[in-house]
Amino acid sequence: MDATTITPEEAYRQKKIKMATSGMKIALLMPITAIIQNIFNTSVTGTVSSNLSDKVIVSVICSITLLAMCDIFAGIFTFIYNVYKGKGIKEYRRTTHLKISWMMLISAAFGGPIATGCWMAATPFCGLTTVAIITSLGPILTAIISRFFLKESLNSRIYLGIVIVIVGVIVSGWSGYSGGGSNFVLGCILALMAPIGFSLEGQFSTYAGDIIDPNVGCGFYRCFGSGILGIVFMAILSAATGNMAAYSSIFHQVFASPILLIFVIAMGLLGAINYNCAYLAFNRTGPSRTLAIDSSRPIWSIPLGFLFAALGVTEYSVATLGVVGAVIVVAGLLLVISKPSELVNLRNVS
C-alpha cells in the first residue's frame, strides 16, 4: 500500500469495502455450484427413484434422504478444508461448547429438511408454476426480515434490484399455468415454508456466524447436522408411512453402485463449496445481497447447460423465456451489486 498517496482513513475504508466485496465474489460461486450439483442430483434421484414406488411420499423421502447423504459428505469435505486451515477437532469442540453456535443447527433445519421438504411436498397440491413463484420470494423476504433482525443496511435501489431478480427468475422458469392442484391453499402454505425457511436460515446463521467462524459452524451444523437430521427425519417418516423398504433401498442402491456413489460424493463436494460460500458471504456482505446473487441461477444455467450438454452429461436446450428471464436477472443483479462504496456500512447500528 502506498502511504504517500492515500490517507489512513481512506485505507481503512477501502479495507472494509474489500472485505464486503470479497463476500459478493464468494457468493457468485453459490449459483454455479448449485446448478452443477442439481445436474448430478437429477441424475441420481432419477435413477434411484425409478426403482421405487411413484407415490409422492416416496419421492419426497428419496430426494431428502439423498440430499442428507450429500450433506454428510459435504461435512467430511468441509472438515478436511478446515483442518488444512488449522481449524481442526479442537476448534470444532470449542465451537460446539458455545451455546449460541447451536443456532446454526436450527438454521440448518430450516434451510435443509424443512424448507426442502415443504417445497417438494407442495407441488402436487398447488402446481409447479405456483410453487416456483412462491419459492422465488426468498431474497425479498430475507431483505425485509434482515432489516429488522440484523439491522442490515439496504436502500431502495437494492430492494428494486432484488424485486427485478425475482421477476427474472419467475420469467425464466415460466412453463405456463400448471393448474390448481388438489389443495391449492395447503400447497401455497407448504410452498411458502420454503422461502421462509431459507430466509430464516440466512438470519440465524449470520447471527451465529457474527460470533463464531462461519466455516466451522457450517461444517458441523449445516453439513453434518442437517445430514443427520434429514436421515433421522426420513427414517421416522418412512416408518410412520410404511415405506421402510423404500428407505432402505435408497441406501442399498447408492452403496451398491460405484457410479451412484461417486455422483453422491460429487454432490457432497459441490454442496460443501455451496454451503461454505453461503455462510461466509452472509457474514461478509449480508444475507440479502448473498441470496440475491444466489438467485442469479438463470444466467449461469445457460452456459453451464450448454457445457454439460457438450460433454454428454445431460441434455440441454433453452427457451426464449429462459433467455429473457436471464437478461432481467442481469439487470436486477447489477442494481444489487453496483456501488461498492455502500458496503462500508453493512449494518445500521449508529
Partner 1 sequence: MQLPLKTRILQYAIERGTEFSLNDVMKDLKKEYEGERIFNKKQIEEYFQSFVGVEFFTATRYDFDADGEIVTYCRVTDYGRQRSKYLPIKQKAF
Q: Which residues bind partner 1 (CB under 8 A)?
A: 1-3, 8-9, 11-12, 15-16, 19-20, 85-87, 90-91, 94-95, 97-101, 151, 210-213, 216, 283-284, 345-347, 349
CB of 219 to partner 1, least distance (A): 13
In single-letter form, the type of residue at position 12 comes to: Y
Q: How far apart are CA 332 and CA 338, in angstroms?
A: 10
CB of 83 to partner 1, least distance (A): 9
Residue 11 or 327 having the CB closest to partner 1: 11
Within its chain, how far is the Cα of 160 from the centroid?
22
Residue 19 or 330 having the CB closest to partner 1: 19
Q: Length of the chain, please?
A: 350
CB of 79 to partner 1, least distance (A): 14
Residue 204 or 263 having the CB closest to partner 1: 204
Cell of 201: 436460515
Q: Do 161 and 336 form a contact (C-beta atoms < 8 A)?
A: yes
Residue 95 or 107 having the CB closest to partner 1: 95
Residue 252 or 347 having the CB closest to partner 1: 347
Residue 54 or 84 having the CB closest to partner 1: 84
Residue 94 or 260 having the CB closest to partner 1: 94
Q: For residue 301, what are the contacts with CB-CB under 8 A and spacing of at least 6?
A: 35, 318, 322, 326
CB of 202 to partner 1, least distance (A): 14
Taking Cα atoms as reference points, which of 298, 299, 317 lies closest to residue 308? 317
CB of 146 to partner 1, least distance (A): 12
Taking Cα atoms as reference points, which of 28, 42, 94, 18 lies closest to residue 315? 42
Q: How far apart are CA 135 and CA 111, in angstroms?
A: 12
Q: Do 285 and 276 form a contact (C-beta atoms < 8 A)?
A: no
The count of C-alpha atoms lying within 13 angstroms of the C-alpha of 116, restricted to the half-sphere facing its C-beta, is: 22
Q: How far apart are CA 336 and CA 350, in angstroms?
A: 23
Cell of 149: 433482525
CB of 295 to partner 1, least distance (A): 23
Residue 42 or 341 having the CB closest to partner 1: 341
Q: For residue 208, what are the contacts with CB-CB under 8 A and spacing of at least 6?
A: 100, 101, 103, 104, 107, 217
Q: How far apart are CA 12 and CA 175, in angstroms?
A: 49
CB of 78 to partner 1, least distance (A): 15
CB of 268 to partner 1, least distance (A): 24
